[in-house]
A = this chain, B = another copy of it.
Amino acid sequence: MTASPTTQQLPVVEVLSRCREQVRPALVRAVNRLHPWHGEMAAFSLGWERVDGTPAPGSQGKGIRQALTLLGAGAAGAPARDAVPGAVAVELVHVFSLLHDDIMDGDETRRQRATVWKEYGTGPAILAGDALFALAVQTLAEAPAEHSAPAVRLLASTLADLVRGQADDLLFESRPWLGPEAVQPHEYRWMAEHKTGALLGCAAGLGAVLAGAPAATADALCRAGRHLGVAFQVVDDLLGAWGDPEVTGKPVHSDLRRLKKTYPVLAALASDHPAAGRLAALLGAGEPLGAADARRAAGLAEEAGGRAAALTEAHRQLDGARRELESVPLAPVALGEILALFPYLVERAE
């Protein structure tokens, strides 16, 4: 990475912002179809002040998924507007998954604010998630495009993959840190490809599907998005261990304190560095870590090479995504904008 973050990030921020603007009216219309209670929770979760889509500064998501959908259509040679129902659907699925995952993971804050279950209660948050899930399917199923049927099929298989990945992530919690039952880095990658990659892949692929692109184009975009998702999840893990809570919006070391199986820690434990043994001993007690121990664990994971290994893995996944995109003919401007997202995703952790 030779370009400075500043020169790299400016155009990306503009691309993301342009895509959010293009999707916003349709997203607002979709959210307005919800039961008002669910509309309120969706608006809260989307970082909007009100259901009309007026944003609360700083609490909005970046909108990577919706951007990928529009850019996927562009890369397939179609106007971005063809892909708007797909962008709305992936954004709704993303919010659905945040709502439910935050309950499962017991996360109380997101983007410096209370999570929906913390603010509205568990039952209402479950139901609002279900409502967003249903609305996502409905949005695609009712899309005027002639490609709505394959789009729904892609979304449905994505949803199945997504819950499969989340299931493995939950099951990892009860697996040991060391020994034959320990979670291996390749299992982590499989989990992340499903939990996070499936939706990013769907986002990119859906753009092409709605644009009526050949199956090979949509598939390549899907696979690229899945690589991107693994990179994204690994970077999220890095930020959880070494990121600034002011920027991440999450409590410091929350993954480490909760003994979550993150890539940097798994990679550190898989190394033969002496710090790996000390890290294993610290984590192996099975009790949630206090602040001091979590800080120590982050230090040991770094010493054992976990941080570097995770960054290498993130870049390896980006290379995989790049190769997928090079494997099919794509329109250069949109392709360039997709590629510009890559360093942006990783630099936030470097």
Chain B residues positioned under 8 Å from A157 (CB to CB) = 138
In the complex formed, the residue of B with least CB distance to A154 is B141
Chain B residues positioned under 8 Å from A171 (CB to CB) = 37
**Secondary structure type dominating chain A contacts:** helix
| 143-196 of chain A: CB within 8 A of chain B | 148-149, 152-153, 155-157, 159-160, 162-164, 166-168, 170-171
Question: Provided the pairs A37-B167, A131-B167 are in contact, do residues A141 and B126 lie with their beta carbons within 8 angstroms?
Answer: no
Question: Provided the pairs A37-B171, A38-B163, A149-B149 are in contact, do residues A123 and B137 lie with their beta carbons within 8 angstroms?
Answer: no
Q: A100, B126: Cβ atoms under 8 Å?
A: yes
Chain B residues positioned under 8 Å from A103 (CB to CB) = 122-123, 126
Count of identical protomers in the assembly: 2
A342 adjacent to chain B (CB < 8 Å): no
Q: How far is the CB of A237 from chain B (nearest CB, A)?
A: 20
A347 adjacent to chain B (CB < 8 Å): no
Partner of A163, one of B130, B152, B156, B168: B130
Chain B residues positioned under 8 Å from A123 (CB to CB) = 103-105, 170
Give CA–CA (A142, B160) in the complex, Å: 13
Chain B residues positioned under 8 Å from A134 (CB to CB) = 156, 159-160, 162-163
Q: How far is the CB of A335 from chain B (nearest CB, A)?
A: 29
Q: B166, A127: Cβ atoms under 8 Å?
A: yes
Chain B residues positioned under 8 Å from A142 (CB to CB) = 153, 156
On chain A, the number of residues with a Cβ less than 8 Å from chain B's Cβ atoms is 40
Q: How far is the CB of A56 from chain B (nearest CB, A)?
A: 23
Give CA–CA (A123, B171) in the complex, Å: 11
Chain B residues positioned under 8 Å from A138 (CB to CB) = 153, 156-157, 159-160
Give CA–CA (A225, B122) in the complex, Å: 31
Q: How far is the CB of A299 from chain B (nearest CB, A)?
A: 30
In the complex formed, the residue of B with least CB distance to A137 is B156
Given contacts A100-B130, A130-B163, 17 further A-B pairs with CB under 8 A are A33-B160, A37-B167, A38-B167, A103-B126, A104-B122, A127-B163, A130-B133, A130-B159, A131-B164, A131-B167, A134-B162, A134-B163, A138-B153, A138-B157, A138-B160, A141-B149, A141-B153
